[in-house]
Structure 1
Amino acid sequence: MLHIAVLDDHPVARHGLKSMLAALPDCDVAVSVASLDEARAALGDDPRIGLLVADLYLDGGRPSISAISEFAERLPVLVMSASARRADVIGAIRAGAAGYLTKSSSPELFRSAVMTVAAGGFFLAAELADLLQAELAASAATIEAVPRLSDREEETLSYIARGFTHAQIATRMHVRKSTIDTYVERIRTKLQVGNKADLTRAALRRADAAEPRPDTQ
């Protein structure tokens, strides 16, 4: 049984999320709260919780990026937000979110995201892939501080970060799935990372490191 916590300050949104989650097999909404303090208390009192589905804007003004980081250290976090802003998506993923959906996503996509993230995977809504791709565009640049990857490994990492499966990547790169499996193992060894969420954050760090530094002269 997967015990889930829902964090959203809108009662109607919480009700909708609970209804969709209740339709999933072997899932139980054990916690449904409206504030960060309530979430902290509930998660601390119930170690069974295996997934947090959280809104990003809980105070109406600023995205709760630091809270995402805090919770992601304890359990997988799936962000479900009305915002599709590039800064919010990238910020949440950098903070440790294992998935990001907009509230315009279909119930079917939401269910897929929940099961993927709960199983240790990474999920990004398709309409957000271009945002992440733009952030990763510089990651192929070679600089001394960043571990070297081959061109094909860089391409593979970019696809993984955008949520593609190994089979889908193989189709796009015109190679066998076993070849992609090999690329991924090499990437994990070189970057010292594990699951897809870790690989995605590693890709973003590489993009950051590859950005030109400002001229200080």
Structure 2
Amino acid sequence: MTVSVVLADDQEMVRIGFAMILGAASGIDVVGQAADGIEAVELIARTRPDVALLDIRMPRLDGIEVCRRVTAAGTRAVIVTTFGEPDYVDAALDAGASGFLLKDSGPELLVAAVRAAATGDALISPALTVDLLARRHRPADSSPKLEELTSRERDVALCVARGRTNAEIADELVISLGTVKTHLGAITRRLGVRNRVEIAAAVWAAGGTVL
């Protein structure tokens, strides 16, 4: 299945760069670009993409409000911005964003965030994950139990909670990327969570001192 994407950013060079990265990825099709928030809402309404990549600070309408409007209409949104302030992250997630990336996160995470959003998952820049979970983790008595994981699965879960990417987990634990993905799948099933953000939340709730 091809994932259709709309890009919205007031910087043309940023849009061009993102379009090149996503265009080179298999199964992703950039169907439109917008230079401001109002244009983005109108373009997304016309093209009905699977995912919208949105900057926060745009003329006429900011990315948070665009996110709120388009997610209500069924398009999943990922915020991609230079600004990682906690208020922005919280506002984006509250507006229904399926991801929040810093613009320097790199091509791999950009593609991963689009694919995650298209499947109903969520991806947050590793640089922001620890601070986010420190503010939002659930009480321990309502959280999945890490005791249900194998020793190696706990190692992977701890790395996720520290904001590591899959490649960094593979390097740290000296395992293959495929093995990392297999462990992540097992962890989500055992804990009954949906994505790596919730995996990290479970680790925090069980005692964030591991971070």
TM-score when scaled to structure 2?
Answer: 0.68
Question: Aligned residues, how many?
Answer: 173
Give runs of aligned pairs for residues 110-121 of structure 1, distance below 5 A: 110-121=110-121
Are the structure 2 counterparts of residues 91 and 162 from structure 1 closer, same or farther at C-alpha, using a change threshold of 3 Å? farther
**Displacement of 1:42 after TM fit?**
1.4
Are the structure 2 counterparts of residues 72 and 164 from structure 1 closer, same or farther at C-alpha, using a change threshold of 3 Å? farther
- Cα RMSD, aligned residues only: 3.5
Structure with greater Cα Rg? 1
Aligned partners of 1:50, 1:93: CA distance in 2, in Å?
Answer: 18
- Matched residue SS, 1:92: helix
What's 1:68 paired with?
Answer: 67
Q: Identity of paired residues, percent?
A: 23
Aligned partners of 1:150, 1:39: CA distance in 2, in Å?
Answer: 38
**Displacement of 1:110 after TM fit?**
1.3
Give runs of aligned pairs for residues 1-217 of structure 1, distance below 5 A: 1-47=2-48, 49-59=49-59, 64-73=63-72, 74-137=74-137, 139-140=138-139, 149-150=142-143, 152=145, 181-184=189-192, 195-196=194-195
TM-score when scaled to structure 1?
Answer: 0.66
**Displacement of 1:75 after TM fit?**
1.1
Aligned partners of 2:187, 2:115: CA distance in 1, in Å?
Answer: 26
Does the 8 Å contact 1:63/1:88 carry over to 2?
Answer: no
- After the TM superposition, which segments of 4 or more aligned residues of structure 1 sit over 4 Å from their partners? 158-165, 176-180
Aligned partners of 1:92, 1:20: CA distance in 2, in Å?
Answer: 23
Aligned partners of 1:28, 1:89: CA distance in 2, in Å?
Answer: 26
- Matched residue SS, 1:114: helix
**Displacement of 1:196 after TM fit?**
4.1
What's 2:153 paired with?
Answer: none
Aligned partners of 2:162, 2:78: CA distance in 1, in Å?
Answer: 15
Are the structure 2 counterparts of residues 63 and 46 from structure 1 closer, same or farther at C-alpha, using a change threshold of 3 Å? closer
Aligned partners of 1:179, 1:106: CA distance in 2, in Å?
Answer: 26
Task: Give unmatched runs, 5+ long, in structure 2.
Answer: 150-156, 174-183, 206-211
